[in-house]
């Protein structure tokens, strides 16, 4: 039979409330009584009912990390960093997956509204227009920090990368390496991609660099021999190459992408990879979340925090 708090109190000849306060190290309980209650609880194998305690205190000492999957570097790196930091702060981290399914996000948000956690960090799905579940959760006063990208109309803190500067830096590196013309392929589908696209366009215009936005029917001006392909990811650049097979024989191709390039730059000449600082993003997200948990008066304010990119890595072609 499970040992209860009542059993501890009876064995120590104190009332239940005193035993409870002794286990919580209440300074109003004499030190000798606290030591006796704790020792008795240990001997009897007492385990506190955390669900009941959370109802009494209004806290769970848990934080939810809600991500789309465990496949990307953002989720795994940021998740591990956030979990370690939260553990140092005496919080447990529970990971929930939404698989880019907005109905799952809505269900998870509903669980959070029932008080199962003290706060949450959410890497949003591609937000479904008209779904106000996250907005309603924040408006109810629940501490929530968004990671990577914001959600329209949600008044809370978002921690992301300096996306515009990162994309501008990719353009600059390609041009400095010899590219005369840039083809920019960024699907404008959320706050992150919009910021990256505008960052690339703004840099090209400010530096008088010939460029075009890829619409599937790109025309490269005559006389151009060196072209830079600027995009979010490896697979998007390779799709451009597959869609325009003549580019490989007509031009010297370079690339600029965020986060990773799988394998050698081949069949492109060389490229540049913008590495985001996911651990720093997660650390800042945890810091902001703890502030929201500890200071309810700071909730309900929309703020964008942009973490500097970690580095631009060069990818050379070993195939010549």
- Binned at pLDDT 50, 70 and 90, residue 305 comes out as very high
- The rounded radius of gyration (Å) of the Cα atoms in the chain is 26
53 Cβ contact list (under 8 Å, min separation 6): none
Output the pLDDT for position 262: 73
Count CB neighbours of 291 within 10 A: 14
Task: Say whether pLDDT at 58 is over 70.
Answer: no
- Binned at pLDDT 50, 70 and 90, residue 1 comes out as low
> Which of 80, 51, 58, 68 minimizes the C-alpha distance to 286?
80
With b for 16 or more beta-carbon neighbours within 10 A and e for fewer, the 5-38 pattern comes to bebbbebbebeeebbbbbbeeeeebeeebbebbb
- Binned at pLDDT 50, 70 and 90, residue 319 comes out as very low
CATH class entry, domain 5-48:
mainly alpha
Count CB neighbours of 141 within 10 A: 11
Domain limits, CATH 1.10.260.40, in the chain? 5-48
Q: Give the architecture-level CATH label for domain 163-276.
A: 3-Layer(aba) Sandwich (3.40)
The bridge status of strand 226-231 relative to strand 270-275 is: unpaired
Global confidence as pTM:
0.78
- With pLDDT > 70 as the criterion, what percentage of the chain qualifies? 93
- Binned at pLDDT 50, 70 and 90, residue 267 comes out as confident
pLDDT digits (tens, 9 = 90+) for 92-146: 999 999 998 888 998 999 889 888 899 999 999 876 566 789 999 999 999 999 9
What is the average pLDDT across 158-165? 97
CATH of 62-160+278-307, one of 3.40.190.10, 3.40.50.800, 3.40.50.2300, 3.40.47.10: 3.40.50.2300
The two three-digit tokens of residue 310, written as one number: 């970690």
Domain limits, CATH 3.40.50.2300, in the chain? 62-160+278-307, 163-276
Please tell me the least confidently modeled range out of 163-167, 173-177, 189-193, 210-214.
189-193
Mean pLDDT of the chain: 89
């Amino acid at each position: 039979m499970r040992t209860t708090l009542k059993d501890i109190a009876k064995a120590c000849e104190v009332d239940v409330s005193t035993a409870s306060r002794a286990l919580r190290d209440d300074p109003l309980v004499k030190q000798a009584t606290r030591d006796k209650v704790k020792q008795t609880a240990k001997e009897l194998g007492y385990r506190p009912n955390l669900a009941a305690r959370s109802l009494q205190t209004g806290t769970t000492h848990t934080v939810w990390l809600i991500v789309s999957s465990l496949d990307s570097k953002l989720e795994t790196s940021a998740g591990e960093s956030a979990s370690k930091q939260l553990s140092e702060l005496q919080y447990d981290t529970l990971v929930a997956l939404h698989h880019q399914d907005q109905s799952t996000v809505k269900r998870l948000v509903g669980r959070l509204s029932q008080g199962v956690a003290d706060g949450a960090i959410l890497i949003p799905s591609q937000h479904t227009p008209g779904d106000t579940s996250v907005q309603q959760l924040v408006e109810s006063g629940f501490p929530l920090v968004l990671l990577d990208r914001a959600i329209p109309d949600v008044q809370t803190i978002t921690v992301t990368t300096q996306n515009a500067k990162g994309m501008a830096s990719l353009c600059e590196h390609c041009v400095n390496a010899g590219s005369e013309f840039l083809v920019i392929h960024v699907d404008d589908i959320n706050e992150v991609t919009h910021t990256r696209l505008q960052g690339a366009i703004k840099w090209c215009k400010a530096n008088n660099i010939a460029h075009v936005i890829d619409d599937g029917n790109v025309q490269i001006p005559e006389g151009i021999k060196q072209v830079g392909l600027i995009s979010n990811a490896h697979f998007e650049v390779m799709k451009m190459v597959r869609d325009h097979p003549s580019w490989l024989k007509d031009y010297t191709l370079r690339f600029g992408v965020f986060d990773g390039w799988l394998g050698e730059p081949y069949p492109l000449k060389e490229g540049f990879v913008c590495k985001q600082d996911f651990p720093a993003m997660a650390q800042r997200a945890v810091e902001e979340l703890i502030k929201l948990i500890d200071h309810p008066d700071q909730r309900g304010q929309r703020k964008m925090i942009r973490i500097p990119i970690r580095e631009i890595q060069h990818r050379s072609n070993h195939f010549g």
